[in-house]
Structures are given as structure tokens and as C-alpha cells.
């Protein structure tokens, strides 16, 4: 019985030794090298660039007051449509004291002149009625009286405009009413009731009461790097997408390329613009971030392979063309346009031929 157990132990040790030897032998053998394979096919290559920018209205204006004053009433709010001439806000005038004093002085002087002209006219009319003065003398006095009346009316109107911002003879054209200068959508009203506003002059731009824009005519405004601007020409097609509207895309034509570069983070860039087609299915807001894709170059119906299948050596380019089972030959090719993934083969390879790609690394053992 002991002898049998001994044989069994020896047999188990022998099997363990043989198994270890076989395992080590198999793992010591080189793993066959495998490669991905690609078939040359006919296709199209496009080299594109994506430009980031914003959606903006082509016509956007800042509505400013015609006089200095304080906002006493706001009749519109952001988001409302207005027509040209609609009243957006009303002002309470803050008159300039020098101008007010001059206007008051002019009125007083006009009153004195008018009173004297009236006295002269009444005296002259009495003499004329008695036929003691000529008609010519009478007409001269009458004309002077009428001129004094007109001067008094003009002085009074000027005082009302300076003091109140509106004259009694022209209430509809009051400068205290801030009106929209275009038809469009109010984008912003940056003032509140009680805010002081000033009119535009040579010293400052004036206070913006409202920003109004025509939202039916939108443009894409972006910047392109100087290394790519040379490939652009006006009229090139673009595809515009808006990040906030995933389902929106709009075809457009490049309509403006800036002749002057602007520096942005140390890089020279050129401004470009293109019209955006607006439809009723989407509400597009001013300032949306957007991307514009432009096809810089295109090659159609050409031989195409993945760019990863190429081998570069000096100024030459090669591929490994399949000649048999796991056998390849190195051939020189001439390349053309690339989109970063696929590349055009101009010569050296025909449609339907197979080339070697990148190596396949297996974690398992053969």
C-alpha cells in the first residue's frame, strides 16, 4: 500500500513538472505580429475649419436722449417690439442755468420791444386814420410791430424748450420724449426711473436709454486665424450651428473678410461675417455663441486610405501593400489632400488594393 502511494506521488510530481515545462515553452515562443488592414477606396476629402463667433443683429442702435434730464417714465421694456418713432421713455428736464438765464433775458427784452412797438403802432394808426401820415410810414410802423410780436413769440418758445423741453406750439415733437429711431426688438433698457441722462455731444457719447435691433436680419461675427484666412474668398459656403440650439443649423455665404488683423491672445486674427437665415421654428437671441464650418479645400472621387497607414521617411511617403497572406511590400506613393483622418493618394496605389495599417497588440498568448 505504501508503494502504491509512493508511485502516485511520483506521478503527480512528474505531471506538475511536465505541465510547467509546457507552459514555459509556449510562453517563450514569439507572438505572431498582426496588423490592421485597409482597402483603398474611392471617396471625397474635405479640409475644413471651424470658426467660433457670435450671432448679432446687423442693425443695432443705441437710442439716446436729445436733452439732459431725469427719467420720469419708462413706457417700454426689454423684449418688446417697437416701431420707428415709438416713445420709449419720458424725461423731466434739468435746464442749464446759463441757458435758462439767457432765455429769460431774451423774453424780457422782447416784451419791452413789443410794448414799445405796440405804442408806436397805435399812435401811428391814429394819425393814419386822420390822414396825417402817409401810407408808407404807416406800413413801416406796422411791420416793426409784427416783427416785435414774432420775436416775442420766438423768445417765449425758446424759454419753454430750455425750461420744459417742449414748447406749447410743438408738443408732438417734444425733446423730453425718447423715441426709437428704428423698427425692431428692444434688447436692453439700461436705465431706470430716476436715473439722470445726458445728451450726446463732442465731449461724451451720451447716455443710452435703450438698445434696439432688427432681429430679422442676423449675422455671424467671428475671427479666423491668419494661417487660414488666405484660403477664404467672399461667397464661400458656410454651415452655422448654435450651441444653445442643438437642432439649429443654417447655411450661409461668407460676405465680409476684414482687411486688417486684430491681435487676440498674441495671435493675429481676421474678422469675418456671414448672414444667418432666420426661420420661425427657432428663437435666436442676440449674443448666442455659434460655430461656422467652412470647407477650405475639397477633392472628390479620389483614392482614399487612412492617414495612419502611411510611413514617412525624409521627403518620401510609403505604404505597405499586401502581396499575400501576412506578406507586404513597401511602395512609394504620392499624397494629396488630408482631413486629418483620411488622405488622398494621387499615385502608387489603386482602388481595391489592401495596405497594412497599425499593429494589433494582443494581450492573450498564442
Per-residue pLDDT of the chain (366 residues; tens, 9 = 90+): 566 666 676 667 767 767 676 666 666 655 666 778 888 899 999 888 899 999 999 999 999 998 888 899 999 999 999 999 999 998 887 766 777 788 788 888 988 988 998 888 888 888 888 888 888 888 888 898 899 888 988 888 777 766 666 666 655 556 778 999 999 999 999 999 999 898 887 788 899 999 999 998 999 999 999 988 888 989 999 999 998 998 888 889 999 999 999 888 888 999 999 998 887 788 889 999 999 999 888 889 999 999 888 988 888 899 899 888 778 899 899 999 988 889 999 998 889 999 888 877 654 444
pLDDT on residue 134: 85
pLDDT score of 366: 42
**What order do you get walking across the sheet with 196-197 strand by strand?**
177-179, 87-93, 69-74, 196-197
The pLDDT value recorded for residue 363 is 47
Query: What's the predicted TM-score (pTM) here?
Result: 0.62
Residue 298, pLDDT score = 86
What per-residue confidence (pLDDT) applies to 317? Answer: 92
Predicted confidence at residue 96, as pLDDT, reads 67
Query: What integer pLDDT is reported at residue 60 of this predicted model?
Result: 93
Instruction: Give the C-alpha distances (Å, rounded to integers) separating 193 from 72, 217, 318.
Output: 6, 31, 75
Amino acid at each position: 500500500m505504501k508503494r502504491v502511494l509512493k508511485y502516485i506521488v511520483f506521478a503527480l510530481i512528474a505531471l506538475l513538472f511536465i505541465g510547467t515545462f509546457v507552459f514555459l515553452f509556449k510562453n517563450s515562443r514569439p507572438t505572431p505580429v498582426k496588423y490592421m488592414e485597409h482597402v483603398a477606396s474611392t471617396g471625397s476629402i474635405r479640409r475644413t475649419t471651424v470658426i467660433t463667433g457670435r450671432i448679432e443683429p446687423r442693425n443695432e442702435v443705441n437710442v439716446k436722449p436729445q436733452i439732459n434730464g431725469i427719467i420720469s417714465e419708462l413706457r417700454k421694456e426689454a423684449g418688446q417690439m417697437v416701431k420707428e418713432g415709438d416713445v420709449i421713455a419720458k424725461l423731466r428736464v434739468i435746464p442749464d442755468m446759463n441757458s435758462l438765464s439767457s432765455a429769460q433775458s431774451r423774453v424780457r427784452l422782447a416784451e419791452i420791444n413789443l410794448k414799445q412797438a405796440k405804442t408806436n403802432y397805435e399812435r401811428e394808426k391814429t394819425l393814419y386814420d386822420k390822414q396825417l401820415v402817409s401810407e408808407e410810414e404807416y406800413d413801416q410802423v406796422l411791420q416793426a410791430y409784427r416783427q416785435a410780436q414774432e420775436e416775442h413769440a420766438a423768445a417765449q418758445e425758446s424759454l419753454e424748450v430750455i425750461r420744459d423741453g417742449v414748447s406749447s406750439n410743438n408738443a408732438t415733437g417734444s425733446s423730453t420724449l425718447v423715441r426709437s429711431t428704428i423698427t425692431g426688438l428692444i434688447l436692453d433698457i439700461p436705465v431706470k426711473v430716476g436715473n439722470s441722462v445726458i445728451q450726446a455731444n463732442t465731449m461724451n457719447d451720451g447716455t443710452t436709454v435703450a438698445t434696439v435691433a432688427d432681429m430679422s436680419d442676423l449675422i455671424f461675427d467671428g475671427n479666423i486665424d491668419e494661417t487660414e484666412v488666405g484660403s477664404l474668398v467672399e461667397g464661400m459656403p458656410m454651415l452655422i450651428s448654435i450651441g444653445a440650439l442643438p437642432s439649429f443649423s443654417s447655411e450661409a455665404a461668407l460676405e465680409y473678410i476684414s482687411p486688417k488683423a486684430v491681435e487676440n491672445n498674441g495671435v493675429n486674427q481676421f474678422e469675418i461675417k456671414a448672414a444667418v437665415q432666420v426661420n420661425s421654428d427657432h428663437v435666436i437671441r442676440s449674443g448666442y455663441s455659434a460655430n461656422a464650418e467652412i470647407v477650405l479645400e475639397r477633392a472628390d472621387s479620389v483614392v482614399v486610405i487612412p492617414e495612419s497607414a502611411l510611413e514617412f521617411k525624409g521627403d518620401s511617403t510609403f505604404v505597405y501593400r499586401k502581396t499575400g497572406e501576412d506578406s507586404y511590400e513597401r511602395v512609394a506613393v504620392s499624397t494629396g489632400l488630408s482631413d486629418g483622418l483620411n488622405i488622398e493618394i494621387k499615385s502608387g496605389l489603386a482602388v481595391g488594393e489592401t495596405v497594412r495599417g497599425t499593429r494589433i497588440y494582443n494581450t492573450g498568448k498564442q
